[in-house]
Amino acid sequence: LPNRIRKSDVVVIGGGAIGLAIAWRAAQRGLGVTLLERGRFGEGTSRVAAGMLAPIAEARPTEQPLLHLNQASVKAYPGFADELSEASGMDVGYLRCGTLVAARDRDDAEALERELEMRLALGLPVSRLRASEARRLEPALAPSLRLALEVADDHAIDPRLLTAALVEAGLRAGARLRAGAEVATVEVSPRNRVSGVRLTDGEVLETEHVVIAGGVWSEAIEGIPHEARVPIRPVKGQILRLHDPSGAGLVSHIVRIAGSYIVPRGDGRYVLGATMEERGFDTAVTAGATFELLREVIEVVPGVSELVIDEVSAGLRPATPDNAPAIGPTSVHGLWWAAGHHRNGILLTPITAEIVAGMLVGEQRPELAAAFAPARFARGAAQSSTRRDRLMPVGA
Ligand code: GLY
């Protein structure tokens, strides 16, 4: 017989930034939370992420609901980072750095003018800088620079500090966080209601609510009825971590160049990324990708060639068919998704946790989350009911 342990109000599957933040927020609201992580906390996609909090620099005009969600999350970040720091007693590496989007040549400059127009039409706070103005802000930019956009409100965080602080804050709030606990199956009763989860070692945890926050690994979880599944594919990103032996100061803004970026940590360390590759679960780092990333960034910030390379790695962004996250309940009572954040996982951590923890205790779905309902991926089956499951805090 499987080993049954104490019942939880909610089981969160996945110990990356999103899952850990949900566990923390849900525990703060008085819920009995168990988080299950198949490996180690924060060691999947979160560990590789650059930590750009840059919704405006990355905005696409066709993705307005996502832009609004991203902006709400970036707005929540200073308060979230302060509270997390306080709750964990740890620094989370939040840096108010702003972003410069740089154009190297005429083609880049034309594209940047169009990007500027689009952002201004959306009412986004971005300004056009002549090359000389950009170089006054960042003297390390190459003299060949054509044009730049400044996005003063786009900042950064260190995802490794973020997840470490979330673990500590979650534990202090009373969440049970278990590493090395891999879920095989979500158990759903014949009445279409979650009853528990079964781990790969046979252990069963009883719970009425399961939040799937397993990123690209969510696909491997069995037992989720077809109509409540969210297809998620990995989008590989190769990324470098470097440091400047002479200390901080090479660049103080995030600098974006076409598909690449360099993110300062504020202490002489930098993160330089990232490729977008659809190659399944491959996480090999390749010479060609590393070369291209470095070439593109060094063309605009030549001083990068003096930096020391500390790490080259590859992470797997979790992407849904429309590349937007799945956040909220499903047609299976008690089954929730918080996955598929693609390029925006670290950015969307505060707002995702707030939405899910709030809905778990019976709050209405906020309007800005409506576009991200997992039900949009339901195929064939009857559409999800609008019924909201309400979960009472422990002891209430
Ligand atoms: N958000 C940056 C990236 O996914 O590469």
282-336, pLDDT tens digit by residue? Answer: 999 999 999 999 999 999 999 999 999 999 999 999 999 999 999 999 999 999 9
- Could you read off the pLDDT of 353-387 as tens digits, one per residue? 999 999 999 999 999 999 999 999 986 444 433 33
> What's residue 392's pLDDT?
39
Closest CA to 349 of 35, 46, 41, 139: 46
Per-residue tokens: 113: 């003018």
Q: How far is the CA of 319 from the centre of ligand 1 (A)?
A: 12
Q: Is the CB of 50 under 6 A from ligand 1?
A: yes
DSSP code, position 24:
H
Average pLDDT, the chain: 92
Rounded CA-CA distance 151/172 in Å is 36
Q: Is the CB of 263 under 6 A from ligand 1?
A: no
pTM for the whole structure: 0.93
Nearest atom, ligand 1, residue 58 CA: 1
What amino acid occupies position 151? V
Rounded CA-CA distance 284/313 in Å is 8
Closest CA to 353 of 86, 169, 158, 182: 169
Cβ–Cβ < 8 Å for 274, 297: no
Nearest residue (CA) to ligand 1, atom 5: 274
- Which of 46, 52, 346 maximizes ligand 1 atoms within 8 Å of its Cβ, making it the mutation to test the pocket? 52
- The edge-to-edge listing of strands for the beta sheet with 269-273 is 127-130, 147-151, 99-103, 254-257, 260-264, 269-273, 233-243, 308-319
Closest CA to 33 of 159, 157, 205: 205
Rounded CA-CA distance 43/219 in Å is 18
Residues with pLDDT less than 70, the chain: 1-6, 61, 379-396
Q: How far is the CA of 24 from the centre of ligand 1 (A)?
A: 24
Q: Is the CB of 52 under 6 A from ligand 1?
A: yes
